[in-house]
């Protein structure tokens, strides 16, 4: 007997044995109409797509998980490898295809397909190669799931989130990029390590570009509810501005270092994106630094630009942007980061 990818139990000769194994209970209540069936599609079954897929499975975030890629052998291999873990995981139907029809009715589409950085290469350098792919990826996703939320991960993530927004024709609340959710986790890890506390007790945001021009919001960092910089100042404890700059530089250098050591980054982005998927699909209304349409927030003007700001996420996608107090210097750095992205974006002619 084998279990088909559609989930039915087939005996020899294709005989459907489901009815023989189970006597239906006629009085059993039908499935609750309030329990939604949740479907997530992941485009790109590479290092990042598979790290996201496996985290989604272990965290029980979807009833149905779909993988899409251009490489059918890799795709089927990955699908089978995950399906073979069924006995150890919450029940999730796993499908894979090169045909986007399989994504129909997805609640969330996560795009990880595309070129990744070579040793020392910047994220922005990937732009032309990945825009060409997005022209093939976004239209069929939209066709089969017109009500979906698009979560972009491929780099350069901020510009590609803008491209996905344009190509989809969706309202901006339904298109976001994973942005600096990952950078902020790296930041929290480094601060926690420095202070020997738990990273989950550190509230700290990196905003702006997911890349070299990102901005660390030092003025709003708190640990266990204690605002760190004002605490040090009140206690007259001296700290070096250079130490802060070094921690931010370590965040910016993180991806370059991991890529130089193992060739790509995957586990942290897997957890980061699964964390976003949970907030969206379970309507958690949590605040995450993610790439959103930033025009008009924090003095960002001069064009339609996506970059990371602390945003509240729920079933409707991006519900709002929180109004954290920024120092003049932080606000200026954020505007500079927006300018960096806009300069790159201005080289694109999407013709949309």
Ligand X SMILES: NC(=O)C1=CN([C@@H]2O[C@H](COP(=O)(O)OP(=O)(O)OC[C@H]3O[C@@H](n4cnc5c(N)ncnc54)[C@H](O)[C@@H]3O)[C@@H](O)[C@H]2O)C=CC1
Active site residue 2: no
**Which of 174, 210, 278, 288 is the binder for ligand X (CB under 6 A)?**
210
Nearest to 345 by CA among 269, 293, 270: 293
Q: What count of residues does the chain have?
A: 352
Lookup: tokens for 100: 């986007």
Is 106 annotated for ligand binding? no
Is 202 annotated for ligand binding? no
Lookup: tokens for 15: 């005989």
Is 154 annotated for ligand binding? yes
Is 130 annotated for ligand binding? yes
Sign for the CA dihedral angle at 164, 168, 172, 175 comes to: negative
Q: Quote the distance between the C-alpha of residue 68 and its chain's center.
A: 16
Buried residues in 18-34 as b, exposed as e (16+ CB within 10 A): eeeeeeeeeeeeeeeee
Lookup: tokens for 56: 């989604």
- Which residues partner with 68 through β-bridges? 43, 97
Residue closer to ligand CC(=O)C(=O)O by CB (options 46, 317) is: 46
Could you say which of 2, 84, 194, 210 is catalytic? 210
Is 49 annotated for ligand binding? yes
Residue closer to ligand CC(=O)C(=O)O by CB (options 113, 255) is: 255
Q: Hey, is 306 helix, strand or coil?
A: strand
Choose from ligand CC(=O)C(=O)O, ligand X, none: what does 70 bind? Cβ within 5-8 Å by kind: ligand X
Is 157 annotated for ligand binding? no
**Residues 112 to 131: which contact ligand CC(=O)C(=O)O by CB under 6 A?**
123
Encoded one letter per residue, x for contact with ligand X by CB under 6 A and - for no contact, window 21-60 reads ----------------------xxxxxxx-----------
Buried residues in 244-259 as b, exposed as e (16+ CB within 10 A): eeebbeebbebbbebb
- Which residues partner with 108 through β-bridges? 40, 149
Calpha distance 45→52 (Å, rounded)? 9
**Residues 106 to 125: which contact ligand X by CB under 6 A?**
112-117
CB of 235 vs ligand X, minimal distance in Å: 36
Q: Hey, is 127 helix, strand or coil?
A: helix
**Which of 154, 254, 308, 345 is the binder for ligand X (CB under 6 A)?**
154
Residue closer to ligand CC(=O)C(=O)O by CB (options 176, 182) is: 182
Lookup: tokens for 158: 């901020």
* Residues of this chain that bind ligand X (CB under 6 A): 43-49, 68-71, 74, 112-117, 126, 133, 136-137, 153-155, 157, 178, 182, 210, 264-265, 269
* Residues of this chain that bind ligand CC(=O)C(=O)O (CB under 6 A): 123, 155, 182, 255, 265, 269
Q: Which residues are annotated as a binding site for NAD(+)?
A: 44-49, 69, 130, 153-155
Q: Which residues are annotated as a binding site?
A: 44-49, 69, 130, 153-155
């Amino acid at each position: 007997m084998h279990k088909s990818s559609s989930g039915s139990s087939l005996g020899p000769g294709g005989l459907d044995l489901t009815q023989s194994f189970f006597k239906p209970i006629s009085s059993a209540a039908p499935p609750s109409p309030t329990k939604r069936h949740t479907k997530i599609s992941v485009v790109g079954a590479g290092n990042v797509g598979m790290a996201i897929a496996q985290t989604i499975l272990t965290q029980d975030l979807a009833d149905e998980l779909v993988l899409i890629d251009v490489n059918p052998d890799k795709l089927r291999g990955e699908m089978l490898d995950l399906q073979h873990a069924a006995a150890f995981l919450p029940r999730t139907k796993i499908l894979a295809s090169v045909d986007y029809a399989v994504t129909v009715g997805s609640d969330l589409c996560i795009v990880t397909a595309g070129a990744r950085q070579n040793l020392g290469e910047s994220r922005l350098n990937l732009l032309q190669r990945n825009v060409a792919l997005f022209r093939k990826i976004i239209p069929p996703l939209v066709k089969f799931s017109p009500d979906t939320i698009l979560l972009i991960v491929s780099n350069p993530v901020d510009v590609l989130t803008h491209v996905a927004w344009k190509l989809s024709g969706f309202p901006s609340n339904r298109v976001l990029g994973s942005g600096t959710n990952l950078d902020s986790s790296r930041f929290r890890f480094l601060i926690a390590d420095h202070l020997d506390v738990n990273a989950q007790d550190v509230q700290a945001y990196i905003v702006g570009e997911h890349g070299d021009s990102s901005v660390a919001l030092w003025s709003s960092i708190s640990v266990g509810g204690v605002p760190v910089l004002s605490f040090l100042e009140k206690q007259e404890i001296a700290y070096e501005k250079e130490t802060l700059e070094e921690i931010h530089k370590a965040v910016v250098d993180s991806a370059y270092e991991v890529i130089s050591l193992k060739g790509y980054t995957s586990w942290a982005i897997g957890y980061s994106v699964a964390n976003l998927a949970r907030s969206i699909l379970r309507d958690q209304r949590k605040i995450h630094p993610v790439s959103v349409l930033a025009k008009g927030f924090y003095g960002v003007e001069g064009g339609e630009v996506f970059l990371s700001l602390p945003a509240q996420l729920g079933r409707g996608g991006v519900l709002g942007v929180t109004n954290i107090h920024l120092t003049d210097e932080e606000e200026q750095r954020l505007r500079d980061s927006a300018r960096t992205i806009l300069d790159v974006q201005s080289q694109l002619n999407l013709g949309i």
